[in-house]
Structure 1
Amino acid sequence: MNVEINPSEYKILIVDDVISNVLLLKVLLTNEKFNIVTANNGQQALEQVEKEKPDLVLLDVMMPDMSGFEVATKMKADSIMSEIPIIFLTALNSTADIVKGFQVGGNDFISKPFNKEELIIRVTHQISLVAAKRIIVAQTEELRRTIMGRDKLYSVIAHDLRSPMGSIKMVLNMLILNLPTQTIGDEMYELLTMANQTTEDVFSLLDNLLKWTKSQIGKLKVVYQDINLVEVIEGVSEIFNMVAGLKKIKIVLDISSDRVEVRADIDMIKTVIRNLISNAIKFSNEGTEIVISLTEEDSMAVVSVKDSGCGIDETNQKKLLHTDTHFSTFGTNNEEGSGLGLLLCKDFVVKNGGDLWFTSKEGEGSTFSFSVPLLQR
């Protein structure tokens, strides 16, 4: 990272018990427009670091009261001082001393007697690193604020749109149930059904978006409770019977037990199952089956949703479940997907102590599975 620096914005502390050395360094660095503060011994150096908060310390190794290595050790033990880079000034050139200097937290060495050009280059290099670090810290903070602002905005949008969309959804549901085809004709009934399905999808997307953003900004906490997973699966799949029926798809439950108890957040688990069934319907062909199974493996309950739909090709399988490469595609009836649902599922399952995975073969279908810890008695 090539950083342009303005020396007048940086302060350097020079520490040496030989006054002539201090004066020489002060003149050389003041000429370069750096701000200079000085100290003549180790104790004074620590006091100056605390008071002046320099950006760099030039520290003589050989001092009578406290060696430069001791000063460096004390600096590195202090949370505020530890970040300040140190260049040791030394007449010692043995490998052992250089190794010792780096071990106690030194960043560089300058040999006495000083070479002016070498001194300026080494000092400027350390100050450039300080400047680069500050830029990174500032950019990181700005990025964090931007992301938080974006997530809050998403949350507000999803929240404000969810309520009117919920009302439209209820109206369309009532119209479909109360207007037989013979009254309004096949064409109008089909349009109404299509509008109903679109509204359901938009409502589901807004619901996912709201939960996703709340989860990202840490406002969605896991509320653990003991739940019977069989009842949850039955309840959620029942809601989808009508939607599946519109595509002549049959939802089959392959569950041998009537009670599988887990410890998890019921709302999060319902959201995961709802998304997996919704996706299975979206990517299934008419007249096929979706099989939901529940098994126990080690200390985990495993729920699988298997469809015989269009499947996912190998290239896109690698992109799935990764935030940066996540993609969306169209269902078998051109139903639009947001790609957000699966990311939310993964997030929720991991938060509940489980995992989410899938197997898929293009043209044959997919099986999405997730695990959740069984209730330990």
Structure 2
Amino acid sequence: MGIDYSEYKVLVVDDVKTNVLLLKVMLEQEKLQIITAQDGYAALDILSKEKIDLLLLDVMMPGINGFELAEKLKSSKEYSSIPILFITALSSIEEIVKGFQLGGSDYITKPFNREELIARVRHQISLIHAKEVILKQTEELKQAIEARDKLYAVIAHDLRSPISSLKMILNVLTLNAEERKLDAGFIEMLNSGNEISEQVFSLLDNLLKWTKSQLGFLEPIFQSFNLTEIVSGVAEVLHPSAKLKHIKFNLDIEPVVTVSMDIDMMKSVLRNLIVNAIKFSNTHSTISISLKTNEHEAIMEVRDQGCGISPE
């Protein structure tokens, strides 16, 4: 997509009227909006009233010279992002380096070469345009990500409740089927459905918490509770999934372990740990869950007899 140069304002600051007029004529031929000033004070006044995209600044001026004005602008949060293209008759390397050290983007030497002037100005405008495009696309991407995360949150929230109900129903059906000694194939299907519902519930729960954290809505609610009850409850809920693989739970937990944290977050952590242990455990194995305390902390461990993690 081409650059519309008519959208950009260039401020030309030079105390020599003929230079100002010459620059104005040449740059207006490129469809740029040109504003002029003949000293640093006039330039500051214009900058306070107009949005300037590029500054062409003469170095040798009475009052505030170009270097002093550049230093003042670059130290200002409001004007520091405006690129400065120095206009100078100075040819020494020291002066050119000084201009760059003060924040100058480029320089043009007097007398002007039209082709060089236009090329350097066009280059600066192209950089400004590219920056604007990047900022615009970044903002659009940010909005798209926020919209996506909100959609994920809505989907996860709306599905979490019925999946939770389905999970409870399957748990009850599985227990009743075993008590009534129904067909083994039927019980196996119930166990399979129970395991799948648990996996989907965990996935939705994690997705909901992730989207809330991305949107900045996930605020932990600290409260004191007995962690032993939570560990026992999660293990009981996941027992049918473990039983499908003939996995036994070995619980070694203290009767009362009082902690202060967010209950929902703790349940998610426990559920993820135990679900992963079931998933990667071999059949006819044991998952050990321990909960103990020392003087300063509660220590919970979930140990399985699975394949482990590859050293690579």
TM-score by length of 1: 0.74
| Greater radius of gyration (CA) | 2
Give me the whole-angstrom Cα distance separating, in 2, the residues matched to 1:27 and 1:92: 23
Residue 279 (structure 2) pairs with residue 282 (structure 1) = yes
Q: Which residue of 1 aligns with 2:163?
A: 165
Contact 2:251 2:290 in 1 (8 A): yes
Residue 265 (structure 2) pairs with residue 271 (structure 1) = no
1:184-243 deviations in whole A, cap 9, x for unaligned?
322222212222222222222222211111111111113345666666545533443343
1:73-101 deviations in whole A, cap 9, x for unaligned?
22223323211111111112233322322
Aligned CA distance change for structure 1 residues 63 and 260 (closer, same or farther; 3 Å):
farther
For 1:1-377, list aligned pairs within 5 A: 4-180=2-178, 182=180, 184-225=182-223, 232-253=230-251, 264-292=261-289, 303-313=300-310
Give me the whole-angstrom Cα distance separating, in 2, the residues matched to 1:74 and 1:9: 26
Aligned CA distance change for structure 1 residues 262 and 136 (closer, same or farther; 3 Å):
farther
Give me the whole-angstrom Cα distance separating, in 2, the residues matched to 1:301 and 1:147: 38
SS where residue 33 of structure 1 aligns?
A: coil
Contact 1:4 1:128 in 2 (8 A): no
Aligned CA distance change for structure 1 residues 83 and 262 (closer, same or farther; 3 Å):
farther
Give me the whole-angstrom Cα distance separating, in 2, the residues matched to 1:63 and 1:31: 26
Contact 1:181 1:189 in 2 (8 A): no
Aligned CA distance change for structure 1 residues 288 and 183 (closer, same or farther; 3 Å):
closer
Aligned CA distance change for structure 1 residues 167 and 235 (closer, same or farther; 3 Å):
closer
Q: CA deviation at 1:124?
A: 0.9
Contact 2:53 2:82 in 1 (8 A): yes
TM-score by length of 2: 0.88
Give me the whole-angstrom Cα distance separating, in 2, the residues matched to 1:18 and 1:242: 89
1:166-191 deviations in whole A, cap 9, x for unaligned?
22222222222223465532222221
1:245-269 deviations in whole A, cap 9, x for unaligned?
33222333567x7777766433223
Aligned CA distance change for structure 1 residues 52 and 308 (closer, same or farther; 3 Å):
same
Give identity over the alignment, percent. 56
Give me the whole-angstrom Cα distance separating, in 2, the residues matched to 1:164 and 1:225: 27
Q: CA deviation at 1:294?
A: 6.2
Contact 1:12 1:34 in 2 (8 A): yes
Give me the whole-angstrom Cα distance separating, in 1, the residues matched to 2:58 and 2:225: 67
Give me the whole-angstrom Cα distance separating, in 2, the residues matched to 1:232 and 1:183: 30
Aligned CA distance change for structure 1 residues 300 and 23 (closer, same or farther; 3 Å):
farther
Give the CA RMSD over aligned residues. Answer: 2.7
Farther-moved stretch of structure 1 (231-240 vs 44-53): 231-240
Q: Give the letter for the 1:184 counterpart.
A: L
1:118-170 deviations in whole A, cap 9, x for unaligned?
11111111111100000100000000011011111111111111222222222
Give me the whole-angstrom Cα distance separating, in 2, the residues matched to 1:68 and 1:263: 63
Q: Which residue of 2 aligns with 1:330?
A: none
Contact 1:14 1:38 in 2 (8 A): yes
